[in-house]
Structure 1
Amino acid sequence: MEESSQSLPPLEWVRAFEATARLGSFTAAANEIGLTQPAVSQRIGLLEKHLNTQLFLRQARTISLTVDGETWLPYVQAALRGLSESSELLFASGKNRLTISASQSVISLWLLPRLARVHADTGAQISVQSYILGGQTATTDNSIQIRYGSGHWPHHYQIPLFTEALAPVCAPSLLEAAKTDDWTSLPRLACTGPRPDWSSFTQRFALPSTPMPQIRIDTMDGTIKAAKAGLGVALGSLPLCLSDLQSGALVRLGEHIFDHSETYWLLATRSAISRRQWESLSSALTATGV
């Protein structure tokens, strides 16, 4: 055991190698690590001597990895990443305050019912901020963001909140007043936003495209509230409508469900949240029951 640990190069030498290989420059690596350029160059020289191999090809103005350096780099990066994540998960105290940015609909219909658990599980003060329609761009800042899309975000942490599914919903009173079993003749409510609309829904399932919606609302939250008030049939997000469907405030109409490839994603950078807090937060916000 002692012999094995003695054969390993010092961690600071390995970090200098990884930063230089990733950034392509001794100077850039020095700036990132907080050392001078000669100090980084010296550490890599010592590492090469320790490993008995050349890791970089040094030219007048450029450096590049040798075959050995290129082969070793992914193993080094995986080891450093695992060391960083495990130490953060086990020992980091986490952030004292977490800021969550989301649409008003997600805040009202998904986040608020789970907020007590989020606060308890993360041990942080929670600040919730809403963004206006058209502000869905996900930025890599120090806020935790919930954004609608298909995935492939530039964030280290990312997980879908739920699988999106759309179906017609309305208040029971609307059905009773209409005295009909044919929901397609009832007035419809339109919701502005990134989801498929009534045109997409009726085309997919060969349903009547009329009546055209006479009321248009710019949030799913507002559209669901309008449906609960008996103003028409909404093409509702079933995960966001779940509590109203379970309570009987809304009823689902017909048998068709529009499965959509896009959904809301929970996103964060390493600087926004600790690994341990991310595990707690993502568990709380992806739970279907509250």
Structure 2
Amino acid sequence: MKNKALPPLNWLRSFEAAARLLSFTQAANELHMTQGAISQQIKSLEAQLNTPLFKRQARSIELTEEGLAYLPIVHGAIQKLMIATNEIFGEGHRKQVKIRGSMAFFSYWLNARRLTSFQAEHPDINLQLNTDIWLRQEEMAGDLEIRWGKGQWTGVNVERLSRDTLFPVCSPALLARQPLRQVDDLRHHELLHVMGYEEGWGEWLQFAEATRVNPSEGMQFDTYACVLHLVESGFGVALGRLSLVEDQLRDGTLIAPFGQRLPSSEDFYLVYPQEGFSNPYARRFADWLLRNTSGRSLPP
């Protein structure tokens, strides 16, 4: 059986308004059209459907049974289109900043405290945060990006955000169960690894001259945020990166049991198009971000 062709949207809008208001005149006023145009579009709709939708009387109109059944469907579809159009293309989206970055940065640096601070300073800007880690790094996605690495990307502007050091972190609950008095005590704990970073447990243990700990032992994860969540819950020990754990160290959620801190060869960087910002709101966010990480402002 052949499907009925979808009627033009302007015909459906005319039908919905006339059926809702039970008046061609009021529908014409609402849609800024003439009564004749409304009437003609509804006649065209009825012809395509091969079904009358209205009972036309001398001074009024009524819906037929088919019109009564069709109205809620058309009304709902138009409402969904209006809502979706406003959500995607509305006034607020002209002030939106699209940012791609790691889940760890968004969860642990750009946290609730800092987001609240940003909103207080820039209440007119909406942020859209994208944590898609599978996009190719050489391709810009959004207005700006927060990348982890050595800052050696080509074809983009790069501003360093952090100067990280690496050191073991764990929860107070874990230390209460199994103390860490010296570095070699790590052999009694679950070491949590994050894949994809140049420095890991092997580099830190060598830096700390720990000879009795096997750096290959322990679970591996592909996201740093997952590892920190487990550590905060009291499971295992991970290498903390200063820019991501400073708040937790301050409030006591995490503890750094040892003083040895290995300078990282990789850091967080602000990355934005080589030609600069086409979105002025993105530049405002980028300037705020740089001031709150490195204390610098964007170059003019």
Pick the TM interval, shorter chain: 0.5 to 0.7
* Contact 1:161–1:265 under 8 Å retained in 2: yes
1:240 equivalent in structure 2: 244
Q: Residues 98 and 258 (structure 1 numbering): CA distance in 2 closer, same or farther, change over 3 Å?
A: same
Cα distance in 2 for partners of 1:267, 1:180 equals 39
Higher CA-based Rg: 2
- TM-score normalized by structure 1? 0.59
- Higher RCO, 1 vs 2 (CA within 8 Å, ≥6 residues apart): 1
Q: How many residues matched?
A: 195
Offset, 1:160:
1.6
Q: Residues 212 and 156 (structure 1 numbering): CA distance in 2 closer, same or farther, change over 3 Å?
A: closer
1:186 equivalent in structure 2: 189
1:228 counterpart (214, 225, 232):
232
Cα distance in 2 for partners of 1:152, 1:160 equals 11
Cα distance in 1 for partners of 2:141, 2:234 equals 41
1:199 equivalent in structure 2: 202
Letter in 1 for 2:126: Q
1:101 aligns with 2:100: yes
SS of 2:283's partner is helix
SS of 2:260's partner is coil
* Contact 1:122–1:277 under 8 Å retained in 2: no
Offset, 1:180:
4.9
Letter in 1 for 2:98: T
1:160 aligns with 2:160: yes
* Contact 1:111–1:285 under 8 Å retained in 2: no
Q: Residues 136 and 199 (structure 1 numbering): CA distance in 2 closer, same or farther, change over 3 Å?
A: farther
Cα distance in 2 for partners of 1:169, 1:117 equals 27
SS of 1:213's partner is coil
Of all paired residues, the percent bearing the same amino acid is 23
Offset, 1:235:
0.8
When structure 1 is superposed on structure 2, of 185-194 and 149-158 the one drifting more is 149-158
SS of 1:107's partner is helix
SS of 1:98's partner is strand
For structure 2, list consecutive stretches of 5 or more residues without a partner in the other structure.
1-93, 295-300
Q: Residues 179 and 206 (structure 1 numbering): CA distance in 2 closer, same or farther, change over 3 Å?
A: closer
1:30 equivalent in structure 2: none
1:214 equivalent in structure 2: 218
Cα distance in 2 for partners of 1:273, 1:125 equals 16
For structure 1, list consecutive stretches of 5 or more residues without a partner in the other structure.
1-94
Cα distance in 2 for partners of 1:286, 1:207 equals 38
2:283 counterpart (272, 278, 281):
278
Aligned 1:1-290 pairs, distance under 5 A: 96-113=95-112, 114-119=114-119, 120-121=121-122, 123-132=124-133, 134-135=134-135, 137-154=137-154, 157-182=157-182, 183-208=186-211, 209-210=213-214, 212-269=216-273, 270=275, 272-274=277-279, 277-278=282-283, 280-284=285-289, 286-288=291-293
Q: Residues 139 and 177 (structure 1 numbering): CA distance in 2 closer, same or farther, change over 3 Å?
A: same
Taking only aligned residues, the RMSD between alpha carbons, in angstroms, comes to 2.8
SS of 1:199's partner is helix
